[in-house]
Amino acid sequence: MPSQKPTPEAEERLSQLLRIKRQERPDAAFWNKFDEELRSKQLSALVCTQSWYERLGKMSLVVARRSATATAVISVFALGIFSVSQSEFFANNNTDKTQPVLAGESIAQDATNQSPLFIVEDSFIATLEPTEPVFIQTIDAQPLYEIHTLTQRASSSSYSINAATKQFTVGGLTNNTSLGAKVIRTGSQF
């Protein structure tokens, strides 16, 4: 960059010199030709014909630009719905495939998908703290399991217990009634 600082006189002189460039002007013949060419281009622009693939390409571009927000919103919704449906699917499938068979499961398998789910927690009497409420009965020193009925909601992580505790032993149900539901087990015993 030039280091010299321009004085007002030098600036004025430069402006005068640059004004010479204003005189670089085309003549009338140039403008006649210019107008003719421009008119022709203007008419071409008015009746511009494009091939179908050019029009399709341009149209797609316009549609893509205009619908970008809507597409993004729909995609997010779709992704959300898909995630939720997938997680429920996995929750059900995991129960069916990865858990070992539990006593009384043959009864539970008869239940339909709409049946309530049960969660079973194993608990040996021996491991219970003396202060815990005694709601598990000992039958011939067999381990007992406590069962809670669960209601499945939209999300796999959201369950609520809506039934009273039932009890059964490893060998079978204590009250000889059908569970009438699928059984999901937790705990190291299974």
Partner 1 sequence: MEADEDLLIVRKIQAGDVDAFDALILKYRERVYSVIYNLTSNREDASDLTQDAFIKAFQSINRFKGKSSFFTWLYRIALNTTLTHLRKNKLRRFLSFEKMADEDHTAGFIENMTSESDSDKAALMNELQEKLNDAFQKLSVKHRTVITLFEIDGLSHKEIADITGTSIGTVRSRLHYAKQFLQGELKDYLR
25 binds partner 1 (CB under 8 A): yes
Report DSSP state, residue 126: G
Report the residue number, 5 or 97, with the smaller CB distance to partner 1.
5
Q: Which of 8, 26, 100, 133 binds partner 1 (CB under 8 A)?
A: 26
Q: Which of 41, 58, 66, 153 binds partner 1 (CB under 8 A)?
A: 41
57 binds partner 1 (CB under 8 A): no
φ, ψ dihedrals at 91, nearest 5°? -60, -45
- Helix ranges (DSSP H) in 99-187: 105-109
Structure tokens at 53: 């693939």
Structure tokens at 61: 């571009």
31 binds partner 1 (CB under 8 A): yes
φ, ψ dihedrals at 114, nearest 5°? -80, -10
Contact range with partner 1 by CB under 8 A, out of 38-46, 58-66, 134-142, 151-159: 38-46
37 binds partner 1 (CB under 8 A): yes
Report DSSP state, residue 139: B
29 binds partner 1 (CB under 8 A): no
5 binds partner 1 (CB under 8 A): yes
Q: Which of 2, 8, 100, 133 binds partner 1 (CB under 8 A)?
A: 2
Burial-class residue 147 by CB neighbours within 10 Å (0-12, 13-18, 19+): buried
Query: How far is 61 from 43, CA to CA, in rounded Å?
Result: 25
- Encoded one letter per residue, x for contact with partner 1 by CB under 8 A and - for no contact, window 102-131 reads ------------------------------
Report the residue number, 30 or 124, with the smaller CB distance to partner 1.
30
φ, ψ dihedrals at 111, nearest 5°? -65, 150
Report DSSP state, residue 101: P
- What residues make contact with partner 1 under the rule CB under 8 A? 1-2, 4-6, 10-11, 13-27, 30-31, 34-35, 37-38, 41-42, 45-46
